[in-house]
């Protein structure tokens, strides 16, 4: 059963097409916490045509942040023909949640989207996970990390995305990497870099060369290992840019990284046509 948290906004049925704007649903309840997905649809959906989906996980060091982080990205890609989801997950500042609980929530969100693919008019074989910083970690971990699932999850439904778009992701959580002080020896099971293997989905990594949290060498090594296991990894470096350089207020790099993402998704057959990034 589909769990509606708010009523659908802007639904129109005309001439065999469905025109949607946005709605908000609860994908998981943990104790009293209701975790939501904010959904953005293409302007017009053909009823019998499945669309790609893109699930965004916000950054904030697993401590803070909120799902509006990727709002402009979701609006852009929904206009391009992708059903986009902005995902909640529990954080330390709001819920005293550990990084492990953040990952449990992210995997639950991915499973919900795939399980309810017919409800959203999406193709369950074309689900992209994306995120920035710690949200990039979560996106990558839904693809690569086998553990850290809610006890009541239906594990027969895969949480693994079909493609990854990672904005300065903190995918090394080992000694010397981001978050080791919080995950300790569990890094071996938690860190995407330490769990790369055959079947890893095609991945785009977007990174500034002056990022103070994600060294360029780490990203280069990640892509080298990806190649060794037979998976595609495109690394795009942006000279002189630091952590979070891709966010909307830095519009020029928002535009450049969005256009790069668009081209990557076109190369996978998820999009057609031409990207056009405008200030809204």
Domain at 185, CATH number:
3.40.50.1820
**Please, which residues bridge with residue 38 across strands?**
24, 86
pLDDT on residue 280: 61
- Look at residue 220 and tell me if it is in a domain: yes
pLDDT at 186 over 90: yes
- Look at residue 149 and tell me if it is in a domain: yes
Burial 127-159 (b: 16+ CB within 10 A, else e): bbbbbbbbbbbbbbbbbbbeebbeeeeeeeebb
Domain ranges, residue 248: 12-267
pLDDT, averaged across the chain:
92
pLDDT at 122 over 50: yes
Q: How many domains does the chain have?
A: 1
- Look at residue 246 and tell me if it is in a domain: yes
pLDDT at 31 over 90: yes
pLDDT on residue 273: 84
Six-digit token pair at 280? Answer: 């809204």
pLDDT on residue 44: 81
Beta pairing, strands 33-40 & 83-87:
antiparallel
- Look at residue 56 and tell me if it is in a domain: yes
pLDDT at 264 over 50: yes
Quick one: what percent of the chain has pLDDT higher than 90? 86
Of 65, 51, 182, 61, the C-alpha closest to 119 is 51
**Which tens digits make up the pLDDT trace of 187-213?**
999 999 999 999 999 999 999 999 999
Cβ neighbours of residue 176 under 8 Å, at least 6 residues apart?
none
Angle CA 158–178–202, to nearest 5: 40
- Taking the alpha carbons of 142, 235, 40, 252 in that order, is the dihedral positive or negative? positive
């Amino acid at each position: 059963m589909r769990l509606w948290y708010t009523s659908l906004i802007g639904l129109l049925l005309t001439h065999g097409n469905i025109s949607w704007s946005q709605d908000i649903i609860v994908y998981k309840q943990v104790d009293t916490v209701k975790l939501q997905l904010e959904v953005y649809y293409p302007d017009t959906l053909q009823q019998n045509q499945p669309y790609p989906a893109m699930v965004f996980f916000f950054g904030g060091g697993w401590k803070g942040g909120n799902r509006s982080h990727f709002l402009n990205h979701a609006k852009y890609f929904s206009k391009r023909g992708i059903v986009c989801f902005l995902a909640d997950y529990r954080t330390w500042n709001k819920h005293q949640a550990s990084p492990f609980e953040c990952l449990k929530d992210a995997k639950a969100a991915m499973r919900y989207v795939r399980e309810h693919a017919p409800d959203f008019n999406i193709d369950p074989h074309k689900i992209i996970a994306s995120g920035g910083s710690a949200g990039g970690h979560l996106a990558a971990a839904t693809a690569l990390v086998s553990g850290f699932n809610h006890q009541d999850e239906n594990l027969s439904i895969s949480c693994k995305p079909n493609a990854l778009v990672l904005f300065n992701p903190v995918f090394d959580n080992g000694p010397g990497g981001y978050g080791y002080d919080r995950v300790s020896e569990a890094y071996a099971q938690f860190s995407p870099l330490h769990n790369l293997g055959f079947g890893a989905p095609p991945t785009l990594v977007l990174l500034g060369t002056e990022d103070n949290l994600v060294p360029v060498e780490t990203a280069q090594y990640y892509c080298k290992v990806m190649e060794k296991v037979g998976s595609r990894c495109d690394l795009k470096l942006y000279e002189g840019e630091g952590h979070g350089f891709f966010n909307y207020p830095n519009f020029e790099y928002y535009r450049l990284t969005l256009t790069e993402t668009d081209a990557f998704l076109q190369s996978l057959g998820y999009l057609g046509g031409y990207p056009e990034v405008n200030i809204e």
